Amino acid sequence: MILLDKTSCELLRYLIGLKEAETIMTISRELGQSRRKIYYHLEKINDALEGYGEEIVSQPRVGILLTEKQKELCRELLRHVDSRSYIMSARERMQLISLCICASKERVTIEKLMDLTEVSRNTVLNDLNEIRHQLTTEQYQVSLYSTKARGYYLDCHPLNKIQYVHSLLYHIFVEGNQAFVAVLNQKIQALFAGEKLLSGDLQAFLSQQVPLVEQDLGKKINRHELVFMLQVLPYLLLSCRNMELKKEEENSISQEFSLIRKRIEYKVAKLLSERMDSQLAVQLSDIEISLLAVLLLSYRKDRDLHATSQDFAQLQEALEAFLWRFETSSYQIENRDDLLRNLLTHCKALLFRKTYGILTKNPLTRQIRSRYADLFIFTKSCAVVLEEAWFVSLTDDDIAYLTIHIGGSLKNSPAEQRDNRQIYLVCDEGVGISKLLLKQCRDYLPNERLDAVFTTEQFKSVEDILRADVLITTNEDLETDLPVIQVHPILDNEDILNITHFVKRQGLSDAATFNQDLEKLLSTYVKDSVRSQELKEKIQKLVNEKLLANAAEETEDRTKDSN
């Protein structure tokens, strides 16, 4: 079977329409996709073309231009893909089947799963066997069974099911292909036609309630976490409603949730439930209200007015000991109180995630470990204090989040900033990332004026009166007339080259030309694309180190002149 999704088909159509050769960089810019994604989808296309003995290759210094034979083969591939459908991979098919079994109140049969996935009986049976095997390798202690009376169902402790479903939804909505997410939503809504929890009215209601919930909590939930919660909450509630609980199981799960009933999040969840019942006639059980409270407790916060409350005194003591280890090292921390408050806010949510097994990953872990290797390792060694105090095991994703907060609060060397460009940052990735981004930019632009990091909402409120020479943003869709450059939250070598060229020359053309020329030059001598990319990054790193050294020398010269 040809497993091409809509993005692969979009690339196919673009390549078929080319009259002249274009480089991967140009194609990525035209399609609004990263080069990594273009290479990924090109690999999928080549897998599909393998049976025809053809392969699409990007020629060094030239790019890609299909032959007439390749164009016809590509058109043949497209004819096998319904333009209105999405061809699911085996992994995506199993995710859809699993979610259907988790959420359905009705009996789930082979025939129903065949209609849902649009594949043969044997394929569905193979998928079910693979799901059953995968469940035995995971930590949730969930088993898949089937009987004539009940169809396919999960057998497990209720809290284990909630943890498993949340993990499944995380893999789908955060790590999955957005085209697949759209298809999944359509299929599930068709399967559960008339279900109020899946209605657009509920989504609109929840979105409108966000400011009220945050006001009642005295907390601001991280934007990415909030988007995810609104996406997955209906499915989590459905998975609660299809559980057939005995009295002792209800008592057990009620006991599991007893801790959160003392928290403000539980009171706010009850208020939200009452408004939901009043406006939409959607009633939540106590277990469902408790689940909503767990989510409100577990997701990261950008602000928490209750961070230093007395009931978290022991949490603060552990973090004090954690910071003390940093202060006895060569690392120097500034704004210690501010850092401690941010760590308290972050770690409160972290502990509730650990307690209730709510999965969250850090998309920046790899970049943190690579670019801030020494700081990551030292943070990990210091974090033993927290693990012993809280009786938890911190993953590399957890350590990376702590590294982000620490890295954003390390002292910078002073620099003269007279008559230089005014630069503002726009970042919606949370407090920790925003502070670390500011520090990174100050490291590479030590003589420029970088005074503030805005969220998009804050930036839009002051855009009309803001005087800025350059905006640096991590957002893909920031609309503004000011000069702007988009970067990754953890600057890579290409980002660093771009911002230094941009600030000095008010344009990206030189940086883009340099990167293109470097890519073409290396591809002439190194045919292995992976090896070529590694060499490119090493060269960029050397150039960046030279730029940083020049900036430091410039700062030193200014200081001498002023004295």
Give me the pLDDT at residue 508, please: 44
Any bridge partners for residue 333, and if so which?
410
Question: Is 447:554 a contact under the CB 8 Å cutoff?
Answer: yes
Comparing 19-28, 45-54, 75-84, 476-485, the range with the smallest average pLDDT is: 75-84
Domains and CATH numbers, the chain: 6-79 (1.10.10.10), 90-302 (no CATH), 307-407 (1.10.1790.10), 422-428+451-562 (no CATH)
Nearest 5°: CA angle at 367, between 362 and 372? 110
**Stretch 516-529: mean pLDDT, rounded?**
69
Give dist(CA 260, CA 281) in Å, integer: 25
Give dist(CA 302, CA 246) in Å, integer: 39
User: Residues 424-458, buried b or exposed e (16+ Cβ, 10 A)?
Assistant: bbbbbbbbbbbbbbbbbbbbbbbbbbbebbbbbee
Give dist(CA 337, CA 344) in Å, integer: 11
**Stretch 45-50: mean pLDDT, rounded?**
82
Any bridge partners for residue 304, and if so which?
219
**Stretch 190-208: mean pLDDT, rounded?**
89
Q: How many residues in the chain?
A: 563
Using alpha carbons, select from 486, 493, 487, 448 the residue that is nearest to residue 469: 448
Determine how many CB atoms are found less than 10 A away from the CB of residue 206.
18
Give me the pLDDT at residue 532, please: 72
Question: Is 117:97 a contact under the CB 8 Å cutoff?
Answer: yes
Mean pLDDT of the chain: 84
Q: Report which of residues 513 and 10 the model is more confident about.
A: 10
Using alpha carbons, select from 287, 337, 295, 285 the residue that is nearest to residue 316: 337
Could you tell me the strand order of the sheet in which 470-473 lies? 449-454, 422-426, 470-473, 484-486
Q: Report which of residues 80 and 472 the model is more confident about.
A: 472
Any bridge partners for residue 473, and if so which?
426, 486
Token pair 């599930």 in the structure block, residue: 188
Comparing 73-77, 104-108, 112-116, the range with the smallest average pLDDT is: 73-77
User: Residues 323-341, buried b or exposed e (16+ Cβ, 10 A)?
Assistant: bebbeeeebebeeeeebbb
Q: Does 267 have pLDDT greater than 60? A: yes
Q: Report which of residues 539 and 224 the model is more confident about.
A: 224
pLDDT band at 527 (very low <50, low <70, confident <90, very high): low
Nearest 5°: CA angle at 310, between 305 and 312? 80
Q: What's the DSSP call for residue 198?
A: G
Give me the pLDDT at residue 547, please: 61
What percent of the chain has pLDDT above 90? 35
Give dist(CA 283, CA 280) in Å, integer: 9
Give me the pLDDT at residue 83, please: 39
Q: Does 36 have pLDDT greater than 70? A: yes
Give me the pLDDT at residue 98, please: 95
Question: Which residue type, as a one-letter code, is found at position 3?
Answer: L
pLDDT band at 10 (very low <50, low <70, confident <90, very high): confident
Which tokens sit at 54? 């053809």
Chain center to CA of 390: 26
Question: Is 95:116 a contact under the CB 8 Å cutoff?
Answer: no
Comparing 139-148, 228-237, 448-457, the range with the smallest average pLDDT is: 448-457
pLDDT digits (tens, 9 = 90+) for 365-416: 988 988 888 899 999 999 999 999 999 999 999 999 999 999 988 886 554 4
Question: Is 2:48 a contact under the CB 8 Å cutoff?
Answer: yes
Question: Is 49:77 a contact under the CB 8 Å cutoff?
Answer: yes
Give me the pLDDT at residue 212, please: 92
pLDDT digits (tens, 9 = 90+) for 288-322: 999 999 999 999 988 888 777 776 788 999 999 99
Give me the pLDDT at residue 516, please: 62
**Stretch 169-189: mean pLDDT, rounded?**
85
